[in-house]
Structure 1
Amino acid sequence: MTKGHSSRGALLTANLPQLQNLIKRDPAGYKDEFLQQWNHYQSVMLIFEQRPDEQADRFRELVTFIAQVAQCYPEETASFPSQIASLLLRSFSTLVPDTRKTLVQNLVMLRNKGVIGSIELLQTLFPLLAKTTSAPLRSFIRRTILLDIRTANQKSQNHKLNRAVQAMLFGMLERGMGSEMVGDKGKLRERPADAPRQGMDEAVWAIALAKELWRKSVWNDEKTVSIVALGCLHPSTKVQKAAYYFFLGDDEDEAGSSDEEDEGPDIRQLKHQRLVKKKTRSEDRKIAKAMKVVKKKTKSKTDETTSTNFGALQLIRDPQTFAEKLHDHLQRYDKRLSLDHKVLIMQLLSRIMGYHKLCVLGFYGYIVKYLTYHQLRVTVILVSLAQSVHELTPPDVLLPVIRKIAQEFIHPGVGSEVIRAGLNAIREVCRRQPWSMEEDLLGDLVEYRKSRDKGVMVAARGLLQLYREVNPGLLKRRERGKTASMAESSVTPLPYGHAPKPAEGIEGLELLRAQDEQPQDGPEWDEWEGWDIESDSDASSSSDWIAVSSEDEGDIVISDSEEEATDRQIPTGVTLGTAPAQIAENLATTKILTPADFAILNKGKLESAASSMMKGSRGTKRKALSTANPAEPEAGTFVTEADIMGPRKRVKADYEERMASIHEGREGREKFGSKKGKKSKEVPSSTTNRQKARNKPVMMILSSNAVRGKKRASLREKQQRLRKGKRS
């Protein structure tokens, strides 16, 4: 027995995978063999810490073996995960790449087997993101972190894990907050030799992970936004840009771009293989399928990056303090930051000010110096200026800004595009704060409506139409127009700081009274025959129903269903605001409104806006229709560069653009050419004699004249035949 046991132990020592399989089947029967390997691991571990180059292969084999069977002996291997984690954190830079990969993979395996928890694993993996220089290993660590957090929050929010991970991310950011701001302008882009790089890289990954978890809807709370908001004030410009792009709804930052998800198949490689390999229909289908995948990914990526992250802006803690810190950061490091970086800060600050209606008065004094027509990216700066203005912005602060735009952009010494941009920018600012305009300046600006340039004329007319609607008193009498002159007594703009009166009732509610008075005997009511309310027995048996007496039935009117109500037409001659206030009040207190009723109200608003548009000018049409549709956002909440530049004439396409358009039109189209003898014809024809000759048996054509003629041909005839084949 002793001899057999010793021979079995020697055999299993040399074959760890076999011992691993046997231990998983019978842990108690092979405990002695495992303890032997465990003691061997402890001794190899001591040697490996002193001399990592020696016995590295044996050390990796033992680590993999113990990680595979650790769940079978939890008491003996209790210290194994902490040993692996401490070795990675302590000696990561000195380990060879294979050893790093093995240790990380086995640590993740222990998490999957339930030997360690998520918090213990993530405490080890987070610092490794900034330390590793291997792209595959970094990508593996990043995917493991995201997958572990996403799986833990799949069924319900794991608050304990989320709080622990968010605390780790805060710590990664705060470790680098004490360093000096370097900047990204000119020579400042080069990092000094003594700059702490570890803290910067950790902060970059903290922002990248927080953004990814927000994008995947794993985290959508205030703490996640606070993590990214802290990155906006980090000394590293790379960290700042990653945080700015999160709030701006853009994904152009390069943090972790090499580790992003797969962007789809390589179309250029597939087309190259199509040219080299044999042409088959399966290859054509493969390329077509790959093209659809790439177009779908490109479209989804474009849709994700075209709007502001309003959800994150809404969850900013103490937005006034945050906006003031951004402004101080912008002014303090004005000479160290590049123009692109400062424009990013302006965009973020302006959107926060406009969304939360904040007043950071120093921002307008700072932005004035960039309001020149020869300034780079001046359109984006004008957009930032317009987005920062709201009805609570003091007009006295905006008056110098409006004057500066008028002096720099609107005069005969500049081009028509510059004048158009200046007029549109002033219009967007005045749309949000109409009191920021002076009467004399407005009179000079609206004179550009007589310009020969169409873009300038449209911009000036837009400004004129705006003040005809909001404050016609600033315009000269001949410029107010017929509609504004007739409604001048009713248009009284509120002074600055005065809030509008609260709404009284629901606008257009009298339309429902007219609907109820219509006869209910039309064809649309035929389908309601046979419909009945639940019986009294059913109503009494249900605890959710409350009995209502017949005397009170007439006081409450239950609205029609949505399908029927949307098909009903609004009576002609009924417009908003014509019914007495008492009728609207009675309807509001005695009628339960449903989505179908609100659909009728919206339909009435559209018709009322259309009727008022027929009486007014073209500028009133767009505003009336946009305000009548509740599905559209409020006019002026978001500004783009196209709004500042206005309508532009299409530039003539160059040769490359024309050829790209031609090739795009040929995609999916049938190839040109003759269909003679082809199966793709509508009526297939017979094959030719030459095609038939190819399928004949060899013995039938050996005695033919063609074959005999080749045999009897002279050398001269053979040379001519060869030359003819080369030319063809």
Structure 2
Amino acid sequence: MVRHNNQLPDNLPQLQNLIKRDPESYKEEFLQQYLHYKSTLEVFCLEPTQFNKSLDELVTFLAQVAHCYSDDLKTYPQEIVDILQTHNTILDNEMRMTFCKALIQLRNKSLLEPTALLSLFFELLKCQDKALRQFLKMHIVTDVKNVNAKHKNTKVNTALQNFMFSMLKDPNAKAVKMSVDIMIELYNRNVWNDIKTVNVIATGCFSKITKVAVASLKFFLGTDPEEEGSDDSDSDDEPNMKEIMMANKVNKKTKKRQKQLQKAKQLFVKAKKKKSKAPQYNFSALHLIHDPQDFAEKLFKQIEKKNDRFEVKLMTLDVISRLIGLHNLFLLNFYPYIQRFLQPHQREVTKLLQFIAQASHELIPPDVLEPVLETLVNNFITERNSADVMAIGLNTVREICTRCPLAMNEVLLEDLVRYKQYKERSVMMAARSLIGTFRRLMPDLLRKKDRGRPTEANIMIKPSKYGEIQANEFITGAEVLYDQHTESTEEIDSNTEDDDEWVDVSQSEEEISDDESIAKDINETTKSSIDENDDDKNLSSSENISTENICGANSKEREMDEVPQKKNNLTKQLKKAQKLEMKEKHKSERNVELTTEKKTKASLISTERLLTDKDFRKIDIALAKQEVTHAKRSTKRTHDQIETNQDGELVKLSDIENIYKKRKHDKDARQKSVKKGQEQRDKFGFKDRRQNTMCSRTNREKRKGKAFPMLKQKLKGKVKRSFREKQIALKNHLLKQRKMK
């Protein structure tokens, strides 16, 4: 024990270890170190800019053993806090970091309140030390997360949020940026995902500091869903276990391969768990803004006043367009502002087209969006542009019309629909997609030949007027669940077939009776007209006797022949017109009856039953069938392409940039190139490609046909001789020359 005590004053880590094991036995040594700490602290306060190594070691030592002597170290945390508050900017970087680490250790041991420590750390973000700022940011995020781990600590949260709100008004740019980053990180980790945090970050969009404004705008834009879409598919990290197990059986068993197999199994289990987890859906931050109209107006004024970089302007326009689309706002100056930049040569023009499509909704007056469509048509959808530009313009028109179909008029739509027969495939497909959208939304605007055959889904469509809201009292497609048993459905099908036959028969009888009555009316009208004509003729004959004498008998015969022909033509035309009218009336009446039946069945089910997941699956299948099934004969359509595009809240950039192009190297093209190469190639073996096959061959060519033992000696080549062998060879050469003399 004596040996340890002699070494303890100089060895603080050993003393720290012993105190943690037995605090009471080593209290004297601790008090000795504590007195030493107080004396060094007084010396340090005289020159706070200098680094003090002994104080550094003592501060960390006391922070480690503070929980063992909590009564003796009551004032210790406050002393360090006071030093950091008074000398925070002039302290040495290493000393400041040790003080912060000591406070974090005290906070982890519950010897310090979170509000006091975190408020101090927010003030320390003003220091010119990047490593310290990053360290404090990590600690603040983790500490707030731990505080709210079990349940939301509203007292701590409100105090810190108020402090952060005051920090956003601080003149120090780095402190403001770091505080905004902390709030965004806490929101993304679902710690502070409340309305207050979102609205505090919203104030950062109007900051004079560009970095703060950009960070706040990026927060509201969030991560791009197109980039995250790759996570849904099988990633490269997810292994194929069958291939790995097969390779492990075939290959040589080594330790490295065993480790790889274990790692692959772990990744496979992890991927399986990830797929089995239910997806989490969170509200977007744009939904939680208090006054979105005022927020959008302020952002738009900021764009007009400030002269920011083009990228910052694009981000601001994106946020404004999303706000208008999500909350159905009215910001009528926004559309003429973007309309100026809608040119094919404009930088990032596809993003601007995306913004104009996002900012369109049903409540915008059609007069506001009509000039936008006209500029799109005049600048993009013209034959002087390339096919890609025309296709992008048509795609943008389609996206605008899906959200505000009343902006399109019949004349403009007829012009755009004609591009369905354009020579370029991309333009043709874009025009057809526009036709498909109007078939779903407003088929009456299209011409009859462009509407396609009516389906069961198209019958239910009723084009809404401006400001009209069509609220249903039932779940669409719920009529499928009205009769679940097969026997009842078969009976209903047989009854409906009989009804159809009866309707057809009654229709034919009604048409016959109507035709007879029409014919009678026509005959009566023709007779009266003939009598009137005869009277007129008698009058004219009495007045103009000379003309009758000139015309003679031939003209009278021609007139008598022409009258019955005119009668027959009139009767035929009238009959056709009446038949068409009756058929259309009958169809419309029948469609109305079908829709009313469906509505009654759907309302009964949706009011009387609680629908399960299986029921909703059946409804989805039935709705998909209705889009394919014809309204009259119940036959499925095979040649037309059905668009089941469900329009989301935001417009995807890929929908506008979606240009139909055939890939250069698809499977068919590759097969053709392979076959073309095979035609030029010889089938089997070596072919002699000499111009004159009768000429002799070289030794090198002859060598290929010789047996290997004959060539074995020549393949060795010249072997490098040693110095001794060279001496012997030279001696023999000299002796040979002497003999020859």
Change (3 A) 1:70 1:419: same
Structure 1: distance between partners of 2:217 and 2:373: 28
Asked whether the equivalents of residues 508 and 576 of structure 1 are also in contact (C-alpha less than 8 Å), the reply is: no
Task: In structure 2, list runs of 5 or more residues that go unmatched.
Answer: 226-236, 238-252, 275-279, 490-592, 671-719, 727-741
Q: For residue 380 of structure 2, what is the amino acid of its counterpart? A: F
2:517 maps to: none
Q: Residue 165 of structure 2 corresponds to which residue in structure 1?
A: 170
Q: Which amino acid aligns with 1:600?
A: K
Matched, 1:408 2:429: no
Show CA shifts across 1:363-416 (max 9, x none).
112111111110000001101110111111121111111111112112222111
CA distance in 1, matches of 2:46, 2:409: 80
- SS of corresponding position for 1:515: coil
| Matching of residues 143-182 of structure 1 within 5 Å | 143-176=138-171
Given that 1:249 and 1:309 are in contact with CA atoms closer than 8 Å, whether structure 2 keeps it comes out as no
Report the TM-score, using the length of structure 2 for normalisation: 0.64
Of the candidates 303, 307, 311, which is equivalent to residue 340 of structure 1? Answer: 311
Give CA deviations for 1:596-617 in whole Å, capped at 9, x if unaligned: 3333323322222231496669
Q: How big is the shift at 1:296?
A: 13
Alignment counterpart, residue 499 of structure 1, candidates 461, 464, 469: 469
For 1:494 and 1:50, the matched residues in 2 are separated by 80
Stretch deviating more after TM superposition (443-452 or 578-587): 578-587
Q: Distance in 2 between matches of 1:718 and 1:428?
A: 91
Structure 1 equivalent of residue 77 of structure 2: 81
Name 1:60's counterpart in structure 2.
56
1:355 aligns with 2:326: yes
Query: Which residue of 395, 399, 412 corresponds with 1:424?
Result: 395
Shift of 1:329: 1.5
**Aligned twin of 2:176:** 203
Give the alignment partner of residue 620 of structure 2, picking from 579, 602, 618: 602
Amino acid at match of 1:643: D
Q: Per-residue displacement from partner, 1:220-276 (whole Å, max 9, x unpaired)?
A: 211222232222222122112222222222289xxxxxxxxxxx9xxxxxxxxxxxx
| Alignment of structure 1 residues 640-651 onto 2, 5 Å | 640-649=652-661
Partner residue of 2:114?
118
Q: Following the alignment from structure 1 to structure 2, what is the Cα–Cα distance between the partners of residues 644 and 150?
A: 41
In the alignment, is the contact (CA less than 8 A) between 1:508 and 1:601 conserved in 2? Answer: yes
Change (3 A) 1:109 1:584: closer
Is the CA contact 1:419–1:456 (under 8 Å) kept in the aligned structure 2?
Answer: yes
TM-superposed deviation, 1:287: 8.6
Asked if the contact 1:576–1:604 (Cα under 8 Å) also holds between the matched residues in 2, the reply is no
Residue 386 (structure 1) aligned to one of 357, 370, 379 = 357
C-alpha spacing 1:297/1:414, structure 2 compared with 1 (3 Å):
farther
Q: How far is 1:619 from its partner?
A: 6.6
Aligned-residue offset at 1:455: 0.8
Alpha-carbon contact 1:44-1:55 (below 8 Å) kept: no
Partner of 2:487: 518
Question: Secondary structure, in 3 states, of the residue corresponding to 2:196?
Answer: helix
Match of 1:396 among 355, 367, 373: 367
Name 1:248's counterpart in structure 2: 221
Structure 1 residue identity aligned to 2:212? V
Cα distance, 1:418–1:138 mapped onto 2, change above 3 Å: same
Do 2:49 and 2:90's aligned partners in 1 also have CA atoms closer than 8 Å? no
Which residue type is aligned with residue 169 of structure 1?
A: M
Change (3 A) 1:208 1:592: closer
Q: Which residue of 2 aligns with 1:622?
A: 643
CA distance 1:446–1:308, shift in 2 (3 Å): farther
1:331-358 Cα offsets, whole Å, 9 max, x none, are 221xx21211111111111112111211
Q: Aligned-pair distance for 1:590?
A: 4.6
Q: 2:34 aligns with which of 17, 34, 38?
A: 38
Structure with a larger share of its residues in helix: 2
One-letter code aligned to 2:79:
Q
Preserved contact between residue 416 and residue 431 of structure 2 (Cα < 8 Å): yes
Shift of 1:652: 5.5
Structure 2 contact 457–626 (Cα < 8 Å) conserved: no
Cα gap change, 1:617 to 1:415, in 2 (>3 Å):
farther
- Indicate the SS of the match to 2:398: helix
The 1-side partners of 2:208 and 2:613 are apart by 52
The equivalent residue for 2:404 is: 433
Question: Quick check: which has more Rg, 1 or 2?
Answer: 2
Distance 1:480 1:399 in 2: 23
Q: Report the number of matched residues.
A: 536
Write the deviation string for residues 298-320 of structure 1: whole angstroms up to 9, x where unpaired: 9x99xxxxx99852222222222
Question: Are the equivalent residues in 2 in contact too, given 1:462–1:619 (CA < 8 A)?
Answer: no
Structure-2 change in CA distance of 1:352 and 1:107 (3 Å): same
Q: Shift of the alpha carbon at 1:508?
A: 3.7
Are 2:458 and 2:627, in contact at CA under 8 Å, matched by a contact in 1?
no
- Contact map agreement 2:388 2:659 (CA 8 A) in 1: no
- Structure 1 Cα separation of the partners of residues 39 and 144 of structure 2: 36
Pairing partner for 2:193 from 202, 206, 220? 220
Runs of 4+ in 1 over 6 A off after TM superposition: 7-11, 283-298, 486-490, 613-620, 716-719
The Cα shift of 1:124 comes to 2.3
Letter in 1 for 2:484: Q
TM-score for the superposition, normalised by structure 1: 0.65
Distance 1:114-1:714 versus aligned 2 partners, 3 A rule: same
Paired residue type of 2:625: E
Quote the Cα distance in structure 2 between the aligned partners of 1:170 and 1:120.
16
Query: Residue 611 in 1 paired to residue 629 in 2?
Result: yes
**In the alignment, which residue of structure 1 is the partner of 2:419?**
448
Contact in 2 for aligned 1:244/1:344 (Cα 8 Å): yes
Moved more, 372-381 or 612-621: 612-621
Q: Residue in 2 aligned with 1:571?
A: none
Residues 589, 118 of structure 1: alpha-carbon distance in 2 compared, 3 angstrom cutoff: closer
Tell me by how many angstroms 1:588 deviates.
4.7
In structure 1, distance between residues paired with 2:112 and 2:195: 29
Could you say what secondary structure the match of 2:284 adopts?
Answer: helix
* Whole-Å separation in 1 of the counterparts to 2:9 and 2:181: 45
* Structure 1 residues 458 and 46: alpha-carbon distance in aligned structure 2, compared to 1, 3 A threshold: same
Alignment root-mean-square deviation, CA? 4.2
Instruction: Tell me which of 229, 251, 268 is aligned to 2:202.
Output: 229
- Whether contact under 8 Å (1:364, 1:401) holds in the other structure is yes
Q: Contact 1:210 / 1:224 at 8 angstroms: preserved in 2?
A: yes
Q: Kindly indicate whether the alpha-carbon contact (under 8 Å) linking 1:483 and 1:615 is maintained by their aligned counterparts in 2.
A: no
Superposed CA offset, 1:560-600 (max 9, x none): xxxxxxxxxxxxxxx98584665555545554543333333
- d(CA) in 2 for partners of 1:499, 1:578: 19
Answer whether contact 1:172 1:206 (CA < 8 A) is retained. yes
Contact 1:439–1:475 (Cα < 8 Å) also in 2 = yes
Report 1:487-566 matches (<5 A): 492-500=462-470, 502-516=471-485, 518=487
Provide the secondary structure at the position in 2 that maps to 1:495: coil
Change (3 A) 1:211 1:291: farther
Distance 1:471 1:8, change over 3 A: closer
Shift in Å, 1:18: 4.6
What is the alpha-carbon distance in structure 2 between the residues aligned to residue 27 and residue 489 of structure 1? 86
Give 1:376's aligned residue. Answer: 347
CA contact 2:37–2:58 (8 Å) conserved in 1:
yes
